[in-house]
C-alpha cells in the first residue's frame, strides 16, 4: 500500500534555506539545492531513478523548469525532485523554495516533458491506466495509482513533500512534475484535478 505525505517543517525550511546567497535556496538531505547559476541538472541513472535540481524560468527550449505564472511561481524560485527505487516501491521527494508564502499547491507526475504550452506535459502518469472516461474517477485518480506531491508553503515560501508508491514507473513514460494552483481533489467527478498548471519541471524517468 502506498503512503503519500505532504510536510512543511522548520527542519525542512532550514535545510532548504541553508547555503545559498539569496536566502531562498538551500539543500535538503538527499535532494540537493538549486544551484546559484540557475542551470538545472537531470541525472536519470538507472531506470526508475532521477535527481533534478533547477530554478524556474520563463519558457526557453533548454529550460529545465518552467514557470507559467510568475506570481505564483516566481522566476528564480528553486525546485528539487528526486525519485528512487526502494525494493518494490518508488520514493518521490519534491522540495521548493521562493514560492508564495503560506499557499497551497498541487503537484503530480505527468507523462510528457514540459513545453511552452502548459498542457504539453500531458496527463497524470498512472500505474494502471483505467478505461476511457476515468480521468476523474477516484478508483484510478488517487495517490496510490498516481504520484501526488501536494504541499503548502511556510511563511518563507518553502515546502517539501514526498510520495511513496508500491510500483516503478515504466521507463520512458513519465516526463515531468507539474505544480498546480490547488491541492488535489479526491471526490468523484473531480478526483485528480488541482486547478491551473502553474509550473513544470522536467523529470525524465
User: pLDDT (tens digit, 9 = 90+) per residue, 134-192?
Assistant: 999 999 999 999 999 999 999 999 999 999 999 999 999 999 999 999 999 999 999 99
Going by C-alpha positions, the residue among 75, 71, 73, 91 that lies closest to residue 83 is 91
205/28: higher pLDDT: 205
C-alpha distances in angstroms, 31 versus 26, 69, 83, 130, 183? 10, 25, 10, 32, 23
Q: Which domain holds residue 92?
A: 3-202
CATH number at residue 193: 2.60.40.200
**Tally of structural domains, the chain:** 1
55, with CB counted inside 10 A (0-12, 13-18, 19+), is buried
pTM above 0.85, yes or no: no
State the CB neighbour count (10 A cutoff) for residue 128.
11
Express each pLDDT in 88-144 by its tens digit: 999 999 999 999 999 999 999 999 999 999 999 999 999 999 999 999 999 999 999
Amino acid at each position: 500500500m502506498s503512503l503519500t505525505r505532504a510536510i512543511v517543517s522548520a527542519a525542512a525550511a532550514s535545510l532548504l534555506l541553508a547555503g545559498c546567497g539569496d536566502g531562498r535556496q538551500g539543500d535538503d538531505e538527499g535532494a540537493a539545492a538549486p544551484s546559484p547559476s540557475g542551470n538545472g541538472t537531470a541525472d536519470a541513472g538507472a531506470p526508475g531513478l532521477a535527481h533534478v535540481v533547477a530554478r524556474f524560468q520563463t519558457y526557453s527550449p533548454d529550460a529545465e523548469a518552467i514557470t507559467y505564472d510568475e506570481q505564483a511561481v516566481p522566476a528564480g524560485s528553486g525546485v528539487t525532485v528526486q525519485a528512487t527505487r526502494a525494493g518494490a516501491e518508488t520514493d518521490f521527494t519534491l522540495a521548493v523554495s521562493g514560492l508564495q508564502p503560506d499557499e497551497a499547491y498541487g503537484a503530480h507526475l505527468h507523462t510528457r516533458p514540459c513545453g511552452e504550452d502548459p498542457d504539453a506535459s500531458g496527463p497524470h502518469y498512472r500505474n494502471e491506466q483505467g478505461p476511457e472516461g476515468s480521468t476523474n474517477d477516484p478508483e484510478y485518480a488517487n495517490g496510490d495509482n498516481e504520484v501526488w506531491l501536494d504541499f503548502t508553503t511556510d511563511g518563507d515560501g518553502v515546502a517539501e513533500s514526498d510520495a511513496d508508491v508500491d510500483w516503478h514507473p515504466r521507463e520512458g513514460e513519465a516526463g515531468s512534475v507539474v505544480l498546480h494552483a490547488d491541492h488535489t481533489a479526491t471526490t468523484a467527478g473531480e478526483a485528480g484535478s488541482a486547478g491551473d498548471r502553474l509550473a513544470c519541471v522536467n523529470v525524465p524517468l
